[in-house]
Chain A
Amino acid sequence: MHNQRSKISLLTVVAATLLMLVCMLPNAEAKPTGPGIFCQTYPEMPVCQGNLVACSPCHDSTWPTSWNAYGLDVWVALNGEPYEQGLATALQTIEDIDSDQDGLTNLQELLSNTMPGEAQSVWIDPPTPIGLSNSWYEVGSFDYRFAFRRVGAIFCGQSPTYEELIAFEEGVDPGTEEGQALLDERLHDYMGYCLDTVYWRRTALWSMADKRIRPLTAAGVNSSIGLVLADYYWDYYLFEYVLTGDRDARHLLTADYHVQEDLNGDLEVVTGSFAGEAGIAPGQPLQVERRAGMITTQWFLVINTMFSPLPRTSAAHALRSYLGMDIARSEGLLPVENEPIDIDNKGVAEAPCSHCHSTLDPLSYSFTYYHGIYGNLTGLYDPNRPDRVNVEIPGWNDPQSVILGQPVDDLVEWAHVASESDEFKRNLADMFFQYVLDRGPDPQEQESFTEIWKALPEDDYSVNRMLHRLIDTDAFGAP
């Protein structure tokens, strides 16, 4: 009886405490500075490697603000201390707690790249393979036959034939070092062949370009309603060109040239500006010195900027496509002090909006000088754009552009900073990893994944070389 009464008393205290916390919470709000502090505290965590953690580890929602179990523990650990000053210590204080009661501590979850506040988000290493042996595959370790077949299917678009498999293993004793070396050489020879196939260049790479280019037939060069605003094939050709032939992948964001298909179907570089014929055969009219690869093509500006005075959509899409961070998901938040200034009076300084716009607006200022859809100026750089009719921004004072915490003078510099960032490298590797394996890297694969994108400078930013590294991983070749 005494025990029961004690339990009831304890429950009452816990309930009262929770009630008190809940009553206090609405006065708090999500802080966009949190992700930056988190990654300063845990730079080695997978989620901070070439990336900036989103708000989701702590928050179920940033507006109205709500916390998950981990976020609540952080809040309690803050113990009333100002957020920015106390967050790092609070995070470390609760490392050994299992906030979501899924059997793993918060630190273990962060190291595994799972959510410490969501019980359903948990990683358990797969058990070792069962059974004594497998006559067909090297289960659990790299298997050249398995990898060879995958290379064919993924990069050539067609699995190797029986005859090709025989040729691949001809005269090889896989049990010897020489045999392994020979298989490795053949595997990479085959890979080299596949990376130059039409399938890889036109089907696979183009499919990766789709969501970045976002073609719209009705407004493209094949418009059935005669509404030709720009030609997205320029974008596809540039994407394909830069990511093949050992070229420098940074040109995705820094190319000041364009690429077209010649009569033989080969791609050739085109320099200079060419206006095309308005409404019929769009060209690439943008001034050469104002170009920034994929994010300043005429189509990119047409489909993203359109009629926006301050092209936030363009900045967000560039960030999402080439740095792998989606502002709409509260990713990549690095708020700039005193932002958003709400230069165009859209009300973005209000609490529900400022959370993201303190990062997004400074990202967008550089895009303001590039016309979206604007008659003969479509896709052109125009220093007077903020004064133009229909896209004017009264009170425009050329606010400071900032990307990844770094002030930049214009979009060309914006793109340069982006192309040199870890975020760009990681996103590039992630784009191909996701395509190749139809999933992201799991916690056991994080280390090799990180090695791949960190080697990009060593590989002269060649995607082909990066992919040769990728097929050597267990993620690719171990059944």
Chain B
Amino acid sequence: MRYVRFIFSLWLVLSVSACVGSYNQQHPTKDVGADVDPTDADGYGEPDADGDADGYGEPDADGDSTDSGGDAGGDADGGPTDSGGDAGGDADGYGEPDADGDATDSGGYGDAGSDADGGPTDSGGSPLDELWPEQSPDDMAVSLKANLRWKRGAILKNDLSQALGFAPDQSCKELELFDCFMAHNIPLGGSDPFGSGLYEPARSPQVTTPIAVERIIMQTCVRRALVDAVGPAVVFTELDLASPALDPTDLETLLAVDKQTRILYRRFLARNPTIAEKDLIRTLLLSDNGELVSATDFAVMSCFAIGSTTEFIFF
């Protein structure tokens, strides 16, 4: 069985690499923009020095020949809807609707980057528009100040709602009735001056805090997936949520998964994933038993995996 898997993997790598080579030959004018590495296969602009660091060698996205000019950030995946110079400025860049109910879209600060007006990264791209660089833990400068803050209830609520495109009071309901953040207010680091006379919140996370945080993130991810499945999708725009099983050997599926991963990273962490992170999310395409998972399950688990990182919960 192990040999079969190995042969299959080898075949997959070779065949996909062949596709990449073919694609690159057919697209000599590909907009590499800020790409450090012209061999960058996925068009995300990461310094993919080995030509295909992630091993899958996916051809750059949709092969959209109309995607010219605007995608300065190395974002060659604009897709059919990615018109009008929808560059890095429109960070969604994937053509997902901007009117997603995202709390920050409604008149908040700095909306300049979220429209389709050509955006601020049209001119030369932004480091943020690339995959974040990989760095070996051995040589990475690590802060020893522990200068991090716990994202308490109110901020977590706003950030989670923003990330998953809900109005803050609609993101999570216990028993479909009570606002989760009210129900778990104290473990989430809130106070309750008017109710129980608790004038000051806990100084540090309590023993039930991780349970409450994970429960809420999971529940909000599930809610988002269910709502998106009915459509129109707001967050899980790259997945066919009706699909009973996502095939990790299918190139289109992998591309969709990677795009979806990038959307989630941008929404939760305001950055692109690294190659390793992207690859890690791909592993969720198989269950612990090695079985295929449905698109909805993948959506929920990838959402949960990214949303429950310490990077999202602390700042």
Contact = CB atoms under 8 A, between A and B. Distances in A.
A153 B151 contact: yes
A166 B126 CA distance: 7
Given A162-B271, A166-B120, A167-B120, A131 B128 contact: no
Interface in A196-217: 199, 203, 207, 210-211, 213-217
B230 interface: no
Nearest to B196: A217
Interface in B177-236: 191, 193-195, 197, 199-201, 203
User: Which residue, of B89, B90, B121, B147, has the highest number of chain A Cβ atoms within 10 A?
Assistant: B147
Interface in B72-123: 88-91, 102-104, 108-114, 119-121, 123
Contact of B91 (A137, A166, A193, A199): A166
A134 interface: yes
Contact of B143 (A137, A157, A160, A165): A137
B10 to A, nearest CB: 32
User: Which residue, of A126, A128, A163, A475, has the highest number of chain B Cβ atoms within 10 A?
Assistant: A163
A140 B145 contact: yes
A438 B204 CA distance: 9
Given A157-B154, A216-B197, A438-B149, A133 B139 contact: yes
B143 A169 contact: no
B24 interface: no
A131 to B, nearest CB: 4
Nearest to B98: A163
A213 to B, nearest CB: 8
Given A140-B145, A215-B194, A164 B110 contact: yes
A160 B141 contact: no
Contacts of A129: 141-144
Contact of B270 (A150, A160, A217): A160
Contacts of B149: 150, 153-154, 437-438
Contact of A163 (B91, B151, B191, B195): B91
A22 interface: no
Interface in B263-287: 266-267, 270-271
A413 B152 CA distance: 40
A139 interface: yes
A128 B143 CA distance: 8
Nearest to B158: A158
A128 B141 CA distance: 10
User: Which residue, of B104, B119, B135, has the highest number of chain A Cβ atoms within 10 A?
Assistant: B104
A130 B145 CA distance: 11
A416 interface: no
B58 interface: no
B162 interface: yes
B127 A169 contact: yes
Contacts of B103: 158
Given A159-B159, A169-B128, A479 B147 contact: yes
User: Which residue, of B103, B162, B199, has the highest number of chain A Cβ atoms within 10 A?
Assistant: B199
B155 interface: yes
Contacts of B142: 129-131, 134, 139
Nearest to B162: A158
A333 B141 CA distance: 46
Interface string A144-172: 00000110111011111111111111110
User: Which residue, of A131, A137, A159, A211, has the highest number of chain B Cβ atoms within 10 A?
Assistant: A159
Interface in A278-305: none
A170 B129 CA distance: 11
B133 interface: yes
A212 to B, nearest CB: 9
B6 interface: no
A257 interface: no
B155 A157 contact: yes
Contacts of A217: 194-195
A139 B162 contact: no
A131 B139 contact: yes
A222 B103 CA distance: 31
A126 B145 CA distance: 6
A42 B162 CA distance: 50
A234 to B, nearest CB: 15
Interface in B146-177: 146-147, 149-151, 154-155, 158-159, 162
10 contacts: A132-B139, A135-B135, A157-B154, A159-B270, A164-B111, A164-B113, A166-B91, A166-B126, A210-B199, A479-B143
Closest 10 pairs (CB-CB, A-B): A163-B113, A170-B120, A164-B110, A131-B141, A134-B141, A211-B199, A167-B113, A163-B114, A158-B158, A210-B193
Interface of A: 126-137, 139-140, 149-150, 152-154, 156-171, 190, 193-194, 199, 203, 207, 210-211, 213-217, 222, 437-438, 475, 478-479
Given A130-B142, A478-B145, 12 more contacts: A131-B141, A136-B132, A157-B155, A158-B159, A160-B109, A163-B110, A166-B126, A168-B110, A169-B128, A210-B200, A211-B193, A214-B199
